[in-house]
Structure 1
Amino acid sequence: MGTLVATIALASALPLGVGSLVALSGMHMGWPLLTLAVGTIAFDALLFARCLANVRALANQQGASRSIVAAAQGAKIRLIEHEHHDADWSWRIDTAKNLTAVSPRLGLALGDDASALEGRSFLQILAGEAWETGNFSAALRTMADKIKYREPFKDLILPVAINGETLWWELSGEPEQDERGAFIGFRGTGTDVTAERHSADKINRMARYDTLTGLPNRLHLSEAVSEALAHAEQWRSRCGLMIVGLDRFKNINDTLGHAIGDILLGRAAERLRAMLGPNDLCGRLGGDEFCIVFNDGADQARLERLAQQIIDELSLSYDVDQHTIFVGASAGIAIGPRDGANAEMLIRSADLALFRAKDLGGGIFHTYEPQLHVEAEERRVMEIALRRAQSNGELHLAYQPVVASETGAVEGFEALLRWTNPQLGNVPPDKFIPLAEQARLIGTIGEWVLRTACREAAHWPPHVRVAVNVSFEQLHNRNFAKMVSSVLAETGLPPQRLELEVTESVFMNEAPHAIAVLKELLALGIKLSLDDFGTGYSSLSYLSRTKFSTIKIDRSFVRGASNNTPENVAIIRAVVALAESLDMSTTAEGVENEDELAMVRRLGCRKVQGYLFGRPMNATDARALATGKMRSAAA
C-alpha cells in the first residue's frame, strides 16, 4: 500500500514540474517573475526527488518483508522436518497435486527414478490400482481432503503398493506459499512404518486370536456377538449362538498328555471350520469349548440340525501320534436377543444349555430355556453352602449293611455321605456329589469320608468290612494311595477291612494314572469293588488287569429280573459266572423283598444289599448291628 501511495505522489509531482517549465518558457518575465519560476522549478525537482526516494525505500522494505515471510515458511518446513527427524524422505506437490522437485530418496521409496516421477499425481501413485476403482483407504481419502481444503495433516498412516508389496507409510504435510503469499502446493515428509505396523498387527492378532487353533478367541467372539445382537436389533431379526464342548476331553489330557490334547483340539477346530458357512464365525472360548456366532438365527431348526451334524462329525475317531482317539461332543444353543440382550448374557445362556446337555449324559444338544438360569442360581447357592458344609459340621455318614445272601449275616457296611443344611434341608447325594466333583471339592470331602468311616469301622468286629466310594477325580491324585495308607495308620483299621468302590468310568479312555493308583491300593492289601457294573463302560478288558474282590450288580438289573425280564435275568447270570471264573464275589444291590432275595440267591449272588436288610443308618445303630446287639430288618 505504501509503495502505491509513493508512486502516485511521484506521478503527480513530475507533470507539475514539467508543466511549470512549459508555462514559464512562453512568457516574457522580469526579474521577479524569473525568481518565482526558478523557485517553483526547484521545488518541483525537490518534490520529485523526495518521492523517488520514498518509492525506493518502500520497495526495499517490501522486499525485506517478503524475505521474512519466505524465511518463516522455510523455518516452518524445517520445523516439520525436525519434528520428523527420523523421516525417510520429503515430498512436494504443486497446485495440481503433481510431484515436483522429487528427491532421489522419494524415488527410491516409490521404486522408480526421480525424474520419471516428476509431474505425476502423488495421490494416484499412492492409490495404486485402487485409483481406477475408487476403493481407496480411509487414510488416503483424509489426505486428499486435507490437500483439497489446504489444511495441514500429521502422522497419517496408509497402505501403499510398491512393486507388488503392500507397505505402510506415515505422512505429514503443510500447505506452501510463495513470496507473495499465494498457495503453490503442499510440502511434507514420509516414513516407512511397515515393520512397526506388522508388529502391531501381530500383537493385535495375539490379543484377538487363539494361538493354538488360530480361531478367534473369547475377546473377539464377544465383540462378534455384540455386533450380531446390534444387527438383530436394528433389523428386528434374530442371531444365533452355539457353544460346542468336547466330551471326556480332560481324560485325554490326563492319560495321553497335554501335547496330544492340543493336537486334538486343533483337529476338532479344522472339522468345525469345514462345516460352517462364510457368514458364520467360529472361535475357541477356552479349554475344550468352541463358540459359533450366527448372524442369522431366525431358523432355529436349522441350527439344531447343524448342532447334530457337528456332534456326529466331532465324535468320529481321531488319529493322533499313533493313537486312535474317540471323544464325543455336546452343544448348547441360544437365540439372541430372546435369550440374552447383551453378549455376556447370550454366551451365558448358551453355556447353560451346554451344561444341561452334558448333565444329561453328553453326545446331544440342548436349547436354552429360562429354567436353566433358575437351576444355575440354585447350583451357585448350593456350591457356596457346600464349601462351608464340612467346617460347619453339616456332613455325616450313614451305613447300609451288606449281608451274606444265604445266612443274612452282616459282612460289612457301605458308608454313604449325607448332607443336611439349615436352609437347604437334606440335599440328595445325586445333586451335591456331582457338584462337589465339578467344584473340585471332592478331594477334601472324600478324605474326610474315608477317615470318618475307617475310624468308625475300627470299633466293629474284625470280620466286618467298610466300603467307601471313590470318585474318578480322587484316583487321578497321584498321592491318593499315600493318603489312604496314612488314614489306615492313623485309625488303626487293617487294610483288608477297607473296601474301596469304584465305577467303570475309571477305565474309560484307558486312564493309566488311575489304574496305577488302583495297583498301589491293592499292594497295600485293600479290597476293590466294582460298582454299578454293566451300566456304563462296555469293555471287560480291564477286569483282567485289575484284581477286584467284588462286582456289584446294579439294582436296575435286580428289579428287572424280579419282574421276570429275560434280558436282566441273563445279565445277572452272566455276571455271576464271570465273577466266579475270576475268583470274585458278587453283591446284588437294591434287594427290597423276599421274592427278590430268593431270585438273587437262585442266580448265585453271594452277598446282598438293600432295604430288606436295613436302610442306611447312623454310626451308633451300625455298630450295634455289627456287634450283634441289634438284629437286621430281615432277621
Structure 2
Amino acid sequence: MIGPAAYAAEAQALLQLARPAMDAAIFEAVDHIHTLVWLNSACVEDLELLEREGIADCATFTQNYLRIACSSKLTATRHRRMARAIGRSCELLGLPLSLLLEALWLALQILHEAVAHLPWAREQHAQLAAVLSARVRDALHAINDGQHELSTARHQLMIELEQWRTTAGSWDAFAIGAMERLSRHPGMVAIAIGRPDPDARIVYEFESPRFVAYLAEIQRQGIGPLSMDASNTFGQSPQARAWRSRDIEINHSYLVDAGAGPWAQAAHAVGIHASTALPIIDSEGEPAVLLALYGALPGQFGTQSMGLFLQALRQVFSQAYAELGQLGRAHPPPVAVRRRHLQLLSRGAVQMAYQPIVDLATGVPTAVEALARLVSEHGRLIAPAEFLGGFGRPELNRLFVLGLQHALHDLAIWDQAGVHLSVTLNLPPSVLVHRDCLRWVIAGFAISGVNPERLMLELLEDEDAAASNQRDDAINRLATLGVKLIMDDFGSGYSNLWRMRSMPFDAVKLDQSLLTELSADQPRTVRFLAGLIDVVQGLGLRAVVEGLSSPELVALACILGADAGQGYALSHPLPATEVPVWAHNFSWASINPAQPPGELAALAAQLARSGAGHRGKF
C-alpha cells in the first residue's frame, strides 16, 4: 500500500478495528524508543533541557505522535505537515536523522508484532502492516524534507541579506531590513542590535517587537540591566562575553548558563529559551555593535550547522557595517577622543548655544535655534563637527533629551526677563522613531511649564524609506501634541513635495549651501532660490533661509519674500545668558527694494518686481 491509500477508507477501517491492540503496542514502543534515545549520549543533554524547561517531554511527545500516526482520522496532508515540523525542530536541535530512522523502524516493528497477534485473516494482517509501513515511510520522507527546508531557508536568508547589503543604502536601513528577514526565520523569537554606553550598559538601537516584550518583562520583574562589567552580577551574559572576547558567545539554556541565569524567568515568559551574541566588527577590526538573537528551543544555537550559519551572518553584518556604518555621518574621531566625548555626554556635560532667527518682514527676533556643544573638563566648548561622527543612536537619544531639557529651561528663564521666544531643536530621524521620543518631549514640557507651540523640531531630509511609515506616525503624534515641525536643509538633497504637503510641517529651512553657490552663477541661483521660496510658501509653509552671513544676503532673502532668516549677519550663536541682552538691543535696518544694497539684492529686486512672494511671521 503506497501514498494516499494508507489514509483511504479501507485503511481507516482497519486502523479503527486494531486500535486497542495498537494502543498497547504504542505504549511498549515508547519505552523502547526512550531507552534507545537515552543510549545516544549526543542527544541526551538537548532532550533533558526540553523537559527541564517544560517545552516537551520525549516520552509524551513520542506517544502522542505514534497515536496520531496510527489514527484512523489522520490525513496524508496533516501527517506530512506534522512530520516536516518535526524535521525542522530536529534540525534546530541537531538531532541526527539516523536516530529518528531507527526510532520509527523500532516502533513499526513493535506495531507489526501486535498486528500479527490479532485474530484476523492473513490478508487483513498484510493490509494493516502495509498501511503502517506506508505511513512510517511518509513520515521519514517528510522529516527529511523538514530538515532540508531549514537548511535551504538559511541558505536563502544569507543570499537575501547579501543582496540587501548592496541595496540598503545606509546602516540603519540594512539593520531594520535584516532584522525583519531574520525574524521570519524558523526558531527565531527576538532580535536586537546594540552596543555599550559609557557606563558599560548595553543600549539597544534596533529591537524586534518580541524583544521589546522581553525588555518589558525584565523591567516588570525588577531584574537589573545587562552590563559589560565582568565584575558585575549582570556582566556575564553572552552579549557581555561576546564584546570582551570579540567572538560569538552562546547561551544554550538559561537554566544551564549561569551568566544568563538572572534573566531566565523573563525570557521564558516570552518564549525565549536560548540566545547568542555576535560582535559585529568594524573596518578597524574593533567590535562596533552587538547582534543578539533569541531562540525558541534550548540548544538551538549550539549545533554544527547553526555555527556555520552564525559565522556567515556575522560576516555579512560586519561587512555591511564597514560599508554603511558611517554613511551620512561625520568622520569618526579617534577611539581615545570618542571615549572622552562619550564620557562627557554620559556626565551631562552639554551646553546649548542659541542662534537667533529673525522675522524678515518685521525685523523682530521670534525664535532661536538650539545648538549643542560638549563641555570639556577644562571648560572648552566642543562643536558637533568634532563629536557627532562618534555618536550612535543611544548617544543621539541622550543628546536630544539633554538639549531639549536645556532649551525649555532657558525659554522659561528668558520669559522672566521679558523675552518671549520660541526655540528650534534638531531631531535626528533615529530619535524621532524611538518609542520613548514622545514621552521625552511631554516630560520636558511638564518640567519646564513651556507651551508645546513654542517648541519647533527640525527634521532632516532622509532618503531611507525603510521606516517611512514609522517616521510619519511619529511626526503626526508630535504635531497632535502641539509641537511645530520644520523640514531642515531643504534643497540639499532628496525632497518629497507630496510628503511636505501631506505631513503637518509648519516651516521649511532652505539649506545654506544654496547661498554658497551664488558666486558661481548668480542669476540662476537667485532664480532657483526664489523658486524654492515660492514652492514652500505655495504649500502653505513658512520659508526660513539659513546662512545669512552678510547684509547683502539678508537683503536678498527679504526681497525674495522669505519669512525668516538666520546667520552671522544677524547674530552668531549666543550663550543662554546673553540671549535676553541681545534681544533687547537688536535693531533692524529695513530693506528698501527700490535701492537694493548690492548686485545680488538688485537681482532679487528685479525678480520681486515681476511677482514677489508673500511674507509671514515665523
With normalisation by structure 1, the TM-score equals 0.44
The one of the two structures with greater contact order (alpha-carbon pairs below 8 A, sep at least 6) is: 2
- Say which structure is richer in strand: 1
Larger radius of gyration: 1
With normalisation by structure 2, the TM-score equals 0.45
